[in-house]
Amino acid sequence: MSIRVKCRKCGKNEVELEMNQFQPADNECEPCRASNMTRSCPKAINFVSEVLLSLCPSAHIESFHMPSTNSFDYRLEFGLAQIARTIRFGRALLDDLDEVLEKNGTSLHDDLLKTKVLFIAYINLGKVGLMPRDFLISKKIALSRGDWKFDLNVTTDFDAKFTRELIEGLNKIKSFLERHLAENQDLGEALEGLTRNRDRIAELLEHYENKKSLNDRSVSTETLMYFKAAALIQIIEKEVRKVKQPIKLIRNAIDSKIYMLAEKLQNEYFINVPMPDWFSEFHEIFLISLQSAKITKESTIEVGKTIQLDNSLQGDSYFPKGSYLDIQKAIGKILKLANRSVWIVDPFMDEKYIEEISFDVLDNARFLTLNYNPRFQQRLNAAQQQYNGKVKIEARTTGDCHDRFIVIDENQVWSLGASYKDAGKKATLLKKVNESHQAKKIIADFEQWWDVGKSD
């Protein structure tokens, strides 16, 4: 049974309440709830709204304060043909996020809080097939920072489905290690690390065969690291299948499995557990497989195609004042390295980026800037019109990065001292970021800037 009463706050709008679920705090209309929420943590509310809109640009998004559950609900509506979805964020979480955003926090704790909010959005949208098709949750997980714990001993309670995924992933890693050990037997003691990892995985698989379970009362950080790597391998393999799958209904079903695994890796067992040191190389090989699985375009390239740069551009290249043509040619060569994607952050974006990029071979191009140059905007619009439906070309604004970075195929990073529009006016340095951990951090930061950047 339900009753209709006046909103206790504005006294104008009516609120329908279920008698058996009635809570005094529910006696507010939706506009008043939204007003309460915005006043309480405005920066966090805006942050989440922008994240959701960047992931689902066609959605109509409304946010509501829910006193009875002490949460904030975001309702996404996609038109008559699709069911609306609601994503819930705890009040305490967004209050904490608001404090971080208010002070522009950049500590590990601050980054982890932002990441937690982002993953709530990713997982809730992904499980119902609403994430962008080219979005790779595996990369987000692999590049995530964490407050890593190396002395854990936890009691696990994995369900049967998750256990099967872990066993399949462990077997894949074991096969990978065995193949490379067999191909490089002549290296002897140099392979002790790989041999030790192979043997440890074999022990875990034997334990499963004996007990038909991976659950235990005291599971160490080391074991959890192997499990986390196995789950991520399963995610990557499913992402490969999804990219090759032309039928949306099947892609959505695959997405449901992908984000179920992603959700598992965000729980208390794994959230503070790092990936194994050796996993980055294994991860790269699977990403190459993903690249080779891309849907054929009208204009295709051979997998593995590269354009060689001058040896001088493999590290640091200094360009003195007046080197207008030389530095533009160097940047052009870097942009033409791309087989899959080009991401650029430059506070003063120049139209020459658009003119130099070979969009025919790309899946996506992203441009982050502080200010739109009118000529850049014109070239961007032209590229979007020409490659509509073939290449995802987008631009957003951000004030979070002072320097200029060019990211090629999400695995190579160059740093440019001057904006492209001023290249050659003064002496500057063009540098390839060869340190793997630094490059990965820049890529992860770019993705965070992108997630919260504002669309034009």
pLDDT grade for 304, boundaries at 50, 70 and 90 = very low
The CATH homologous superfamily of the domain defined by 311-455: Endonuclease Chain A (3.30.870.10)
DSSP secondary structure code for residue 394 in this structure: E
Cα 445 to chain center, whole Å? 10
- Please compute, for residue 203, the number of CA atoms within 13 A of its CA located in the half-sphere on the CB side: 9
CA distances, 369 to each of 118, 140, 450 (Å): 22, 22, 10
The predicted model gives 437-445 an average pLDDT of 86
Handedness of CA 31, 34, 36, 38 (dihedral sign): negative
pLDDT for residue 268: 73
Residues 6+ apart with CB under 8 A from 310: 330, 333
H helix intervals, 270-323: 279-292
Contact 101, 43 (CB under 8 A): yes
Kindly report, residue by residue over 421-434, the tens digit of the pLDDT. Answer: 778 788 888 888 87
pLDDT grade for 165, boundaries at 50, 70 and 90 = very high
pLDDT for residue 29: 66
Q: Which one, of 159, 146, 149, lies nearest residue 119 by Cα?
A: 146
Measured distance CA(340)–CA(234) in Å, rounded: 22
Two tokens, residue 349: 């974006």
pLDDT for residue 166: 96
Measured distance CA(204)–CA(165) in Å, rounded: 14
Measured distance CA(197)–CA(176) in Å, rounded: 11
Mean pLDDT of the chain: 82
pLDDT for residue 193: 83
- Dihedrals phi, psi of 229, to nearest 5 degrees: -60, -40
DSSP secondary structure code for residue 306 in this structure: -
DSSP secondary structure code for residue 126 in this structure: H
H helix intervals, 349-435: 351-356, 374-386
Domain boundaries of the chain, sorted by first residue = 2-132, 139-292, 311-455
Kindly report, residue by residue over 218-269, the tens digit of the pLDDT. Answer: 999 999 999 999 999 999 989 888 887 888 889 999 999 999 999 999 987 8
Measured distance CA(270)–CA(72) in Å, rounded: 26
Kindly report, residue by residue over 324-380, the tens digit of the pLDDT. Answer: 888 888 888 889 888 888 999 998 888 889 988 988 888 889 999 987 788 889 999
Is 411 a residue whose pLDDT tops 90? Answer: no
Is 144 a residue whose pLDDT tops 90? Answer: no
Contact 254, 242 (CB under 8 A): yes
Two tokens, residue 168: 């399949």
Q: Are strands 341-345 and 364-369 parallel, antiparallel or unpaired?
A: parallel
pLDDT for residue 289: 52
Residues 6+ apart with CB under 8 A from 185: none
Two tokens, residue 107: 């500590």
pLDDT for residue 308: 37
Neighbours of 270 (CB within 10 A): 19
Two tokens, residue 117: 């909010």
Kindly report, residue by residue over 172-199, the tens digit of the pLDDT. Answer: 989 888 888 888 888 877 788 888 989 9
Is 70 a residue whose pLDDT tops 50? Answer: yes
Two tokens, residue 147: 């407050």
Contact 362, 391 (CB under 8 A): yes
Residues 6+ apart with CB under 8 A from 222: 200
pLDDT grade for 300, boundaries at 50, 70 and 90 = very low
Handedness of CA 409, 130, 224, 170 (dihedral sign): negative
Two tokens, residue 20: 């058996």
Which carries the bigger pLDDT value, residue 410 or residue 316? 410
The predicted model gives 107-124 an average pLDDT of 92
Two tokens, residue 231: 């789950």
